[in-house]
């Protein structure tokens, strides 16, 4: 079978849907490569900063790596702005939706809401922006994690002089994360908190 015969889903047969499901499974195996390609395309995104959006993403992930963060945090930092091209008004939610089946809930929530937290750095300079928008999340179990994420890895990662690792360094981590079983409870770990920084791991990586 090269393609199905039906033109309405309700007319599909068991064989046709099994055929399509097999194609979909094969398609999902290449998700990481598509995401890495999309990261490179961030260079066509928003300009005006001293580094490109790809550079910002790589620098955020590099800072996470240098802080001793685990793989979920590193990949979350790498992909946190991947929605900038296609979803400029809710890029954080876009990125979180991509990550949600494959990383810890903690990381997904931080990525999903980091746009609100970032406003503390610039909201006071623009009309109609709420500098304290993050306060609507105050009391959430991951509030402090998002505060740290933005302070250490996001708002700080626009420095053209920071030694930043290339995308090839992070590619195996992206593939490892997106090769996981989607929505595996042992990965999602609802309610679990893992520190963003680990001084012992950071020291080992620096060494």
One digit per residue, pLDDT tens: the chain, 207 residues? 899 999 999 999 999 999 999 999 888 889 999 999 999 998 876 678 999 999 999 999 999 999 999 999 999 999 999 999 889 899 999 999 999 999 999 999 999 999 999 999 999 999 999 999 999 999 999 999 999 999 999 999 999 999 999 999 999 999 999 999 999 999 999 999 999 999 999 999 998
Is the residue at 80 inside a domain? yes
Q: What is the total count of domains within the chain?
A: 1
pTM score over 0.85: yes
Is the residue at 1 inside a domain? no
Q: Determine contact, residues 43/54, Cβ cutoff 8 Å.
A: yes
Q: Determine contact, residues 170/61, Cβ cutoff 8 Å.
A: yes
Show the domain range for 193. Answer: 31-206
The gap between the terminal CA atoms of the chain, to the nearest Å, is 55
Is the residue at 2 inside a domain? no
We report the CATH number of the domain holding residue 144 as 1.10.3210.10
Is the residue at 202 inside a domain? yes
Is the residue at 19 inside a domain? no
């Amino acid at each position: 079978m090269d393609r199905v015969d039906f033109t309405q889903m309700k007319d599909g047969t068991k064989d046709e849907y099994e055929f399509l499901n097999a194609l979909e499974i094969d398609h999902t195996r290449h998700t990481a490569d598509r995401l890495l390609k999309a990261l490179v395309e961030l260079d066509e995104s928003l300009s005006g900063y001293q580094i490109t959006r790809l550079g910002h993403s790589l620098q955020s992930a590099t800072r996470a790596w240098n802080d001793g963060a685990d793989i979920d945090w590193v990949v979350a930092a790498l992909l946190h702005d991947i929605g900038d091209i296609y979803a400029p008004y809710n890029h954080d939610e876009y990125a979180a939706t991509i990550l949600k089946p494959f990383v810890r809930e903690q990381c997904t929530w931080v990525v999903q809401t980091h746009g609100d937290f970032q406003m503390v750095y610039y909201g006071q300079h623009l009309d109609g922006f709420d500098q304290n928008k993050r306060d609507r999340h105050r009391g959430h179990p991951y509030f402090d994690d998002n505060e740290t994420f933005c302070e250490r890895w996001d708002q700080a990662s626009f420095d053209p002089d920071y030694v930043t690792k290339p995308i090839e360094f992070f590619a195996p981590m992206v593939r490892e994360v997106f090769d996981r079983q989607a929505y595996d409870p042992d990965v999602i770990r609802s309610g679990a908190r893992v520190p963003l920084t680990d001084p012992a791991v950071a020291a080992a990586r620096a060494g």
